Amino acid sequence: MSNISPWKKDFSIFVPQAQPYLCYLDTAATCLTPKHVAEAMFHYQCYSHANSHQEKDQINSSEIDKLEQAREKVACFIGAQQRQSIVFNTGATDGVNQVAYGYVEPIIVAALKKGQHCNIVISAAEHHSNILAWQRLVKAYQVELRIAPLAIDGLIDIARLALLLDENTCILAFSHCSNVIGKMNPVEKICQLAKSKGIATLIDGAQAVLRSHCTVATIDCDFYVFSAHKIYGPTGCGVLYVKPDILREMLPSQWGAGMAKNVNYKESEFFSGPSRFESSTPNMASIVGLVEAIDYLNDLSLKEINLYLDDLAMYMHKSLSELAFYRPVVDKKITLRQAKMSTLVSFQCQNIHCQDVASLLRSENIALSCGNHAAQPLHSALAIEETLRVSLGIYNGYADIDKLIASLSHCHQMMALEDLV
């Protein structure tokens, strides 16, 4: 492998006039944008922009076609059997809320009217976005929120999860891949377990949709959410996949003109299918960007991308593990035994505050995350306040990891020297 990524040239941020020396290791927070995506969005906004919800004319008709073609593209990308299962929204967080208030809340209300109890199950490794919506329902209806613990390897403990699921469980919501631990949960096994008990499943796929060869039909989940900016697309755009039979029963969580077929002062008739959940003017510029991102990744070859990232991730984990002061959230011996390396790792440097390390690295033009990464309960469960997180993208190469290792070593030497003084 070359020290420099063969695809780095596709990202305009690295040109001499911008930030040519940037070492960007924060892909788990957001991917940088390839010029192909930015150009597609610019071209759309300048030459094709119209409202897909307005009466048809030459531009609007093309707009409607773009929207349905985008559904088809996304459906193919995640292995959905039909495009009508694809709902566009503002991101994974929006998708979780759509499920919480359009699917789970009505179930809770109906159960409580019958005097039945309800519970919601999530894992201990969830991002705040997959906690807060459920907390709101728990407080509003006095239902129980159950937390599935993790095994020593950082994955959901399936045996202990099984003990939490029962006939009163409304939904099991969990991440395909934790944004702190970085390992792929056995989603098919977990969904099979839930299905055997008649429980619906929601998967937060934000960190996994690109790296997991995601096929929602094979996983057999009921809901799957992800954000465009986690696969080199734009911010403000996301996808909610819903199984077709559930989509027909699910209620909208927002109401607006985009979903309405006929309206009068007494009652209204709504569109069927995904349009019923897209209540306002679609963010077509971002949807165009999402489609272009998928095309870009497919043109590069998802297989080649993942082979490249596999090799780079192995180099990252081995290089970090050789640092005597490196303390990952999951034991490095366990991580290095994994057949497939994660492209993100969260860690601390022994006896040095994470914020001090991050400050020094930023001064050397290295971008990474520092804090609880919107996963504060997980950090509390691990008995730590914050971590550093490094995550790889297709623009990274060996040179970026070498720079990180050199900077971490320099930082440790400096801090150790200060301690002696």
The pLDDT of 388-410, averaged and rounded, is 98
pLDDT at 203 over 70: yes
Most confident of 171-175, 253-257, 338-342, 411-415: 171-175
DSSP 100: I
Query: What's residue 65's pLDDT?
Result: 87
Q: What Å distances lie between residue 385 and 346, 354, 358, 379, 407, CA to CA?
A: 12, 10, 15, 6, 23
Q: Are 127 and 95 in contact (CB under 8 A)?
A: no
pLDDT at 419 over 80: no
DSSP 270: E
Q: Say which residues have a Cβ less than 8 Å from residue 196's Cβ, sequence separation at least 6.
A: none
User: pLDDT by residue (tens digit) across 39-51?
Assistant: 999 999 998 887 6
pLDDT at 418 over 60: no
Query: What's residue 36's pLDDT?
Result: 97
What tokens were used for 420?
């002696």
User: pLDDT by residue (tens digit) across 348-375?
Assistant: 999 999 999 999 999 999 999 999 999 9
Query: What's residue 414's pLDDT?
Result: 87
Q: What Å distances lie between residue 63 and 66, 164, 195, 227, CA to CA?
A: 5, 46, 38, 22
Amino acid of residue 246? I
Which of 132, 101, 127, 107 lies closest to 119 in space, CA to CA?
107
Query: What's residue 398's pLDDT?
Result: 97
Backbone φ, ψ for residue 152 (5° rounding): -65, -25
Query: What's residue 320's pLDDT?
Result: 96
| pLDDT-above-90 percentage for the chain | 85
Q: Are 235 and 228 in contact (CB under 8 A)?
A: yes
Query: What's residue 420's pLDDT?
Result: 45
| pLDDT-above-70 percentage for the chain | 94
User: pLDDT by residue (tens digit) across 54-73?
Assistant: 555 555 557 778 999 999 99
CA distance 373 to 127: 8
The pLDDT of 242-251, averaged and rounded, is 94
**Which segments within 163-291 are labelled E, that is strand?**
169-175, 200-204, 223-227, 238-242, 260-263, 268-270
Q: Say which residues have a Cβ less than 8 Å from residue 106's Cβ, sequence separation at least 6.
A: 251
Mean pLDDT over each residue of the chain, to the nearest integer? 93
Q: What Å distances lie between residue 5 and 14, 78, 345, 392, CA to CA?
A: 12, 26, 20, 11
Query: What's residue 323's pLDDT?
Result: 96
Q: Is 322 exposed, middle or buried (0-12, 13-18, 19+ CB in 10 A)?
A: exposed
DSSP 102: I
Query: What's residue 358's pLDDT?
Result: 97
